[in-house]
């Protein structure tokens, strides 16, 4: 029988939404800094209070039940609005207090986001900043995040997106001098099919093809991978390229320092494509004071 006391604490609902977004107890526990057993106990307690299962559990996965989906849909915006109100109340006109939680891809953690966060923290010492680094596009409200940063994904209609960092970036192809001495320098993207290549895989996605453009000509090449590295190990991929293990295609801003010191050499430079830089996205409905201050700082830098 359901517990007659149907009240649930905000903390319990926050845990529920974290599990719903992560599709698992372990991932949610890691995000919240709690043990998986504590997360599981919280969900069981909440289900007991409500008298309905919120998740369908198997040995390999969990999924929201119909009741769970309805609860997540109704409570996610309410919790975001409640926290925004608390942050607003805690922040005076001159001092911003509270939490800023951003969901960001690893691509912006190398050299784009850290200096922005450094300036923000210096300007607002009473704000606690948390960066959730992952590559998949998430529902930032359900994930208990204030905003996200992504490249070019389609966003919901109630989201606002503004450029953060460079308005344009460029992909680049590189190899170590030792590799090019052994295997030769490609003169056309089509030749990459016969080379050793180091590929970077975005988490949860297929290995992306390499895109090239020169003038009005565009080419997509899917070379065989001698080595595949997840985005979390992108710096290791650069190190392996420097050691001569193959050609590497990635962000030019990641490779520029190695071009400068000669440990990597630009390859097919006249074929490197350009694309739009990252964008900060957030709900037009909720603007807690720490996020408003962050958006203002990003706008000032533009």
3-state secondary structure of 42: helix
287 and 271 co-located in one domain = no
Asked whether residue 259 is domain-assigned, the answer is: yes
155 and 285 co-located in one domain = yes
Q: Point out the domain boundary residue: 28, 43, 64.
A: 64
135 and 50 co-located in one domain = no
Question: Rounded to whole angstroms, how far apart are CA atoms 255 and 244?
Answer: 15
Question: Rounded to whole angstroms, how far apart are CA atoms 241 and 258?
Answer: 10
55 and 81 co-located in one domain = no
pLDDT of 284 reads: 75
Closest to 285 measured CA to CA, from 148, 100, 64, 84: 84
Q: Point out the domain boundary residue: 22, 39, 64.
A: 64
111 and 258 co-located in one domain = no
174 and 265 co-located in one domain = yes
pLDDT of 8 reads: 61
- Is the pTM higher than 0.75? The answer reads no
Q: At which residue do the structure tokens 């149907």 appear?
A: 6
Which residues have a Cβ under 8 Å from the Cβ of 181 and sit 6 or more positions away?
none
Range of the domain at 231: 168-276
Cβ distance 49 to 114 under 8 Å?
no
pLDDT of 286 reads: 75
Cα 94 to Cα 88, 97, 123: the distances in Å are 12, 10, 11
160 and 104 co-located in one domain = yes
124 and 209 co-located in one domain = no
pLDDT in tens, the chain (302 residues): 444 454 567 788 888 888 888 888 888 888 788 888 898 899 998 888 888 899 988 777 788 898 888 888 888 877 777 776 776 666 656 688 889 999 999 889 989 999 999 999 999 999 999 999 888 777 887 778 899 999 877 676 678 899 999 999 999 999 999 999 999 999 999 999 999 999 998 766 678 899 999 999 999 999 999 899 988 888 999 999 999 999 999 999 999 999 999 999 999 999 999 999 999 999 877 788 899 999 999 998 87
100 and 149 co-located in one domain = yes
What CATH number did the domain enclosing 184 receive? 3.40.190.290
Domain count, the chain: 3
Asked whether residue 69 is domain-assigned, the answer is: no
Query: Could you tell me if residue 190 is left (phi over 0), alpha (psi between -120 and 50 degrees) or otherwise beta?
Result: alpha
161 and 291 co-located in one domain = yes
pLDDT of 201 reads: 85
172 and 272 co-located in one domain = yes
């Amino acid at each position: 029988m359901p517990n007659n006391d149907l009240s649930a604490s905000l903390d319990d609902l926050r845990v529920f939404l974290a599990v719903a977004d992560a599709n698992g107890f372990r991932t949610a526990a890691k995000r919240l800094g709690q043990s998986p057993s504590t997360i599981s106990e919280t969900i069981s307690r909440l289900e007991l209070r409500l008298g309905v299962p919120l998740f369908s559990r198997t040995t390999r996965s969990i999924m929201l039940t119909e009741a769970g989906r309805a609860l997540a849909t109704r409570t996610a915006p309410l919790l975001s609005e409640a926290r925004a109100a608390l942050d607003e109340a805690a922040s005076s006109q001159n001092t911003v207090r509270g939490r800023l939680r951003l969901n960001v891809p690893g691509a912006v953690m190398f050299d784009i986001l850290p200096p922005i966060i450094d300036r923000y923290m210096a300007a607002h010492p009473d704000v606690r900043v948390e960066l959730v680094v992952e590559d998949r596009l998430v529902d930032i409200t359900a994930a208990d995040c204030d905003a996200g940063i992504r490249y070019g994904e389609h966003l919901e209609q109630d989201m606002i997106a503004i450029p953060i960092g460079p308005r344009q970036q460029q992909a680049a192809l590189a190899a170590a001098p030792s590799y090019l001495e052994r295997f030769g320098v490609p003169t056309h993207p089509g030749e990459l099919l016969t080379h050793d290549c180091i590929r970077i895989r975005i988490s949860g996605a297929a290995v992306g093809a390499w895109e090239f453009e020169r003038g009005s000509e565009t080419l997509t090449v899917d070379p065989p991978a001698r080595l595949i590295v997840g985005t979390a190990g992108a710096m290791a991929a650069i190190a392996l390229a420097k050691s001569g293990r193959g050609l590497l295609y990635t962000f030019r801003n990641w490779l520029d320092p190695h071009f400068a010191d000669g440990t990597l050499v630009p390859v097919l430079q006249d074929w490197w494509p350009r694309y739009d830089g990252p964008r900060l996205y957030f709900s037009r409905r909720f603007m807690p004071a720490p996020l408003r201050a962050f958006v203002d700082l990003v706008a000032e830098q533009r």
